[in-house]
């Protein structure tokens, strides 16, 4: 049942942030999404590990979206808090996606190829949906190039998030006794 609610709350947060961005009203959707994220971490079996995953996902997403924005392929319009970075509501969405790694997307664990394929397809489709709802636009670099760049980013992101979520012993960071 927890996976179901993770999926439902992910979708609610996505729609709230995208609709808020489309209407230049992102404060409350971002606060609501961050409240769910805090609750998610608090309820996690390993809050410290979960929080670490979410921070890594945030850093990855912030850099990836900002680079795509600078390439001219993505236009967020009002990029608050800084015109030099992707917008805050996108940061919340990257963290929100990471909450699904141990929730509704946990069935992809151990299936990196499938995770990459689904990330490479669903990521750009999500951006396209957000753009069609008015939350941004494909930039002067073109829709096809932007779609491909976003696809590559998400094809890397989903398996990478699963990798980051592995216990330290599986990552080779801790020696077996």
Alpha helices (H) in the chain, listed in sequence order: 2-22, 27-43, 47-70, 88-98, 112-132, 143-164
The tokens of 40 are what?
């998610």
Using CA atoms, how far apart are residues 145 and 126, in angstroms rounded to an integer?
A: 16
Give per-residue pLDDT as tens, 137-160.
999 988 999 999 999 999 999 999
Q: In the chain, what are the domain boundaries?
A: 2-164
N- to C-terminal Cα separation, the chain: 37
Give per-residue pLDDT as tens, 19-29.
999 999 999 99
Collect the ranges in the chain with pLDDT lower than 50: none
Do residues 109 and 30 touch, judged by C-beta distance below 8 A? Answer: no
Q: What is the dihedral of CA 101, 139, 91, 34, to 10 degrees?
A: -90
Do residues 18 and 133 touch, judged by C-beta distance below 8 A? Answer: yes
């Amino acid at each position: 049942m927890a996976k179901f609610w993770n999926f439902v709350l992910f979708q609610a947060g996505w729609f709230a942030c995208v609709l808020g961005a489309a209407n230049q009203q992102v404060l409350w959707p971002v606060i609501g999404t961050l409240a769910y994220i805090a609750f998610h971490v608090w309820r996690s079996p390993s809050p410290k590990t979960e929080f670490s995953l979410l921070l890594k996902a945030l850093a990855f997403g912030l850099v990836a979206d900002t680079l795509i924005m600078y390439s001219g392929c993505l236009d967020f319009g009002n990029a608050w808090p800084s015109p030099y970075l992707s917008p805050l509501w996108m940061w919340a969405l990257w963290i929100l996606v990471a909450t699904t790694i141990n929730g509704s997307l946990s069935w992809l664990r151990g299936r990196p190829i499938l995770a990459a394929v689904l990330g490479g397809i669903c990521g750009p489709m999500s951006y396209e949906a957000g753009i069609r709802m008015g939350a941004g636009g494909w930039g002067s670099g073109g829709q096809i190039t932007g779609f491909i760049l976003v696809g590559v980013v998400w094809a890397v992101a989903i398996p990478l998030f699963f990798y980051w979520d592995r216990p330290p012993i599986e990552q080779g960071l801790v020696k077996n006794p």
